[in-house]
Structure formats: C-alpha cells, structure tokens
Structure 1
Amino acid sequence: IGLDYLIIHPFTLEFSRISSTEFVRDILVNELKAKKIIIGYDHRFGRNRNANIQDLFAFGNTFNFEVEEIAAQEIDDVSVSSTKIRNALIDGDIKTANEYLGYNYMLTGDVKKGKGLGRQLNFPTANLFIKEKYKLIPKNGVYVVKSILNGKLFYGMMNIGFNPTVDGSTKSIEIHFFDFNSDLYGQNIQVDIIERIRDEHKFKSLEELKTQLLKDKETSISIISS
C-alpha cells in the first residue's frame, strides 16, 4: 500500500509504564523523528491511557510536528466497508467485494499436484494451496480469474469446493487457465478473481461435468471479452 517502513513495537510491561510525555519525546520525536502523526479521534496513549488527541495537539506545538485527526465518521465508514467486503466474499458476491476494495480480490499460494482429474477431462488445473489459514476464501463455486504466469497475462476459470461429482472430501481450489500448457508445479502464483459464474454442483457423470465445463469456458470468455 505504499508504506516505506512498518514498525510494530512489542507491548511489554516496561513499555506500558512509559508516560505520555516520554512516549512522544523519546520515541516519536527523538527516535522516529516524526513530522506528522495521523491518529484516530478516540486514540489514547501513555501510561494508563491518560493522554488523548488534544494532548497530542499540544505536544505537536511543543515538539514541532503536525497532528491530523481521523474523524469518527471516517472510521465508521472503513469499518462498515470492511464488513461489507467480508460478507460479500462469504456470499460469493465478488463484484461487490471488488467494488469496495477498488481492485480484484486475490488468492496467492503454491501450485501442488492434484488427482489429475482435470487433465482426464481435457481441462488441466493448477491446484492452489494457501498456507495462511486466516485467508478468507470466497463461497464455493466457479469464478472467472486472471493471473500473470511466466511474465504473461492469462485468464481462466477457478473452482472452489469439494468436487462432489467424484465424491471429493477435501476442499480444493483449482484453476484452469485458457491457452496455457506449461508446468506450474511448485510455483507461487497470484490469482485475481473477476466474477462468479455459478454454484458448485454434483453431476451424474464425468461426461456431464465436461459438458458443463465447456459451457463455463464459453461464459468466462464472454465475460472476459466484455
């Protein structure tokens, strides 16, 4: 997001006992050389949280740094937007999530070997393994996606779910990239999610599944073209 440095200071017992004056003078001014501080309207700091933003304005005058206040309404707006994004992803409403984010929601992970079912259906897939357990995975279903692979842009379709047609028991994320034939095993890739096509279904046969995949590809290409 454009930050040059991110400092996360451990909140130790010793640190918790620093007065507001010591915190501003010794850490913000002498150590960090702060020239401008952007802070929430209700932020408190110093031992026992005894200083507020008005105190910080006063410190700013003393130590010659600027203070910018983030208003309550702005914080509420961010909070509301975050909740809407999470709910949209859970509901599979990727369009709404992307609109609030201002960019495409993305999944990043390593490509692992799967069962090879996609290749049997002439729809080879990259099986994406995401190690971060906290990552919010959108609702099960089929999505239109894009990725940069080996330096080039490729579109495709992604299935999130359990592969019920073949009695799958483990949730997987599988992407079929259009017009891509190289080996991706072991590579770390980023997948941008563009739009959701449909729910995941259990088909009566692999042939019926293949027919649906062909329809999904046509739908995906239509969405990409538009």
Structure 2
Amino acid sequence: MQITSSLDNLLTPTAIALGNFDGIHRGHLEVIRPVLASDNPALYKTVVTFAPHPQQYFTGQPRQLLTPHHERAIILERLGIQQLILLPFDRELVKLSPQEFIDRILACQIQAKFISVGEDFRFGNQRAGAATDLVELTAQIGIQTKIAPLETDGDSRISSSRIRAALLAADLKLTQVLLGRYYSIVGTVVGGQSIGRSIGFPTANLQYPAEKFLPRQGVYCVRVDTDTQTQLPAVMNIGKRPTVNGVNTTVEVHLLDWDGDLYDREIIVYLHHFLRTEQKFADLTALTNQIQADCKAAREFFSS
C-alpha cells in the first residue's frame, strides 16, 4: 500500500474514504466499506486522513492516538486499501472554503471519483461544510458522494472517545465491541535492563510511537504476531516497574513457553484480558512469584 503526505505523488483517479479514522473502529469501517466495494478497477481504493489530527492543530497540544499512522496503515492494508493519504492539516488547508477544498484538493489533486464520509463529517474553513453539502457540491462536478450513518452499539454512538474511556478502565470486552477487533500495540523490540531474564522471565521491551494511546497500567493477557509467527500467547506489563524503582512507562511482553530472539523486530501485541493493576513488591523474589502466578492465569485464560 502506498502511504504519502505529498499531493504531488498520488495514485489517481481514486475512490476515497475521508475522515480522521483514529482507531478504525466499527463506525469508521462503515465509511471505508463502500470504497472497498467499488467495482471500478480504474479507481485506487484510498483512505484520506489528516496529519496532525485537527484537534492537535487547533489546541497546540500533542494528541495520543489509538492508531498512529504506521499502525493505521497496517490495518488498512489488511482490509484491502491501496493508498493512505496523510493530508497535511496546516494553515493553508484550514483557510480553504468548502468549495475550495472540493475543487483544489478532492477534485484536482486527489482526483476523487467517489467519496464516502460519515454523517458527522465537517470540512472547510470554520467547519462550514457538512456531509450533506459535500454530496450536493460534488454532484455538481460529477463526483458521487455517499454518507455512512453513525454506527451504534445499542443506544450509544461508537466513538474514539468511548474507546479511550474503555481502555483507561481496562474494559477490554467493551473495547473489542467498539473496535470490532482486539486493541493492539505495534512496536519494535529493543534492549532493556534484562531484569526479567535475570529472574527467569525474559521480556521483549517494546519501543512504541510516542503518540500511542496506552490503556490502564497493569498486567494483561495478550497474543503476539511476529514477522514469522502469529497469535503467540503472552503476558504484558504496562507501567513504571516500581519494584525496581522505574521512572518511565514501559511496555514489556513475556511470551509463554517460547524461546527466540526478537531484538530489532517489529511485533504486534493484541490485548485480550486484564489481569491486575501494577504494584510494588517487597523484593525480586516476591515479584518472581507474582509473575509465575500471572503466567499461570494467562495459560488458564487462553485454554478456557
């Protein structure tokens, strides 16, 4: 899949899903599906999103993302998307009127022939354009636009903010319902202090994007995909390792009944079940005993 933030190097013409798509949850999938269903082989199946996130641009504050762009690209490619356009969200883009955004960006540069957006999509200077305006204005220049209705789970709308709240509460069942998949963390395995190895539980220390939204700190049952194997059962700790006087938040993964070298390799960790909160133990012996109990609980969870 092509990933680009340059509008001078695009695969065109396109059928596009347009929006923020942080999380690529079930609501986002309803916007993306019409593009995947396009039966015109001449149109590149494309997702157009914004970088940085509009809220980050307007507030000036860094925004934690459920799916940083690399992780988002992995998910979209598996769905069948051929191109991800990271549209620079800058002063020049913000100044465009709804009509200018359509004419300059969508029609001229992206060469969209089909557009799919969510019901709550807004565009143009001061968010002046609504999804219904996009339908009307694009129809005048021969572009078909489809509006996907808001997706709900019962009476509540599925949203990235609800997913964040569920993750902070370690409610992985609700998270999975809202996403339509397990929440994941993508990162590269790097060297650590080897404390886990010294007590018989070697861990893969995950270097993840600084903007990645992490769930509640604690211990999780997870499954891991490497570049050669998939769905390996494991235990993951997210936290500051208070027993060894840690300061920075780390993500460490211990693969159950597995031996190998993961250094410098990218892995994907899927969160299945929350075991316990992180705690400080009296010494390494007490920590070792608890890790043994965590591994036993994880094996029981995955075998049930």
TM-score when normalising by structure 2: 0.62
1:156 partner amino acid: A
Matched, 1:95 2:173: yes
For residues 26-45 of structure 1, the aligned pairs below 5 Å read: 28-29=106-107, 32-39=110-117
Which residue number in structure 2 is paired with residue 169 of structure 1? 247
Q: Write the distance in 2 (CA, Å) between the matches of 1:15 and 1:126.
A: 42
Which one has a bigger Cα radius of gyration? 1
The TM-score with structure 1 as length reference comes to 0.80
Aligned equivalent of 1:205 = 283
How far does residue 57 in structure 1 lie from its aligned partner after superposition? 4.5
Identify unmatched segments of 5+ residues in structure 2. Answer: 1-75
Percent identity for Structure 1 against Structure 2: 33
Q: Which moved more, 1:8-17 or 1:153-162?
A: 8-17
**1:138 equivalent in alignment to 2:203:** no
How many aligned residue pairs are there? 223
Instruction: Name 2:236's counterpart in structure 1.
Output: 158
Match of 2:263 in 1: 185
How far did residue 49 of structure 1 move? 7.5
Residues 1:125 and 2:203 aligned together: yes
Report the alpha carbon displacement of residue 37 of structure 1 after superposing the two structures with TM.
Answer: 2.6
Alignment of 1:49-68 (within 5 A): 56-68=134-146
Contact in 1 for aligned 2:237/2:253 (Cα 8 Å):
yes
Amino acid at match of 2:226: L
| 2:161 matches 1:83 | yes
**Aligned partner of 2:225 among 125, 142, 148:** 148
159-168 or 58-67: bigger deviation: 58-67
How far apart, CA to CA, are the structure 1 residues paired with 2:263 and 2:224? 15
Superposed displacement of residue 220, structure 1: 0.2
SS in 2 for 1:214: helix
| Unpaired segments ≥5 residues, structure 1 | none
**1:5 equivalent in structure 2:** 83
C-alpha spacing 1:137/1:28, structure 2 compared with 1 (3 Å): closer
One-letter identity of the residue aligned with 2:258: F
Secondary structure of 2:205's partner? strand
Amino acid at match of 1:135: K
Q: Which structure's residues are more often helix, by fraction?
A: 1
In structure 2, the CA distance between the partners of 1:116 and 1:166, relative to structure 1 (3 Å rule), is same
Letter in 1 for 2:280: K
Deviations 1:13-36 (A, max 9, x none): 59946782x665665446544332
Change over 3 Å in CA distance of 1:194–1:32 after alignment to 2: same
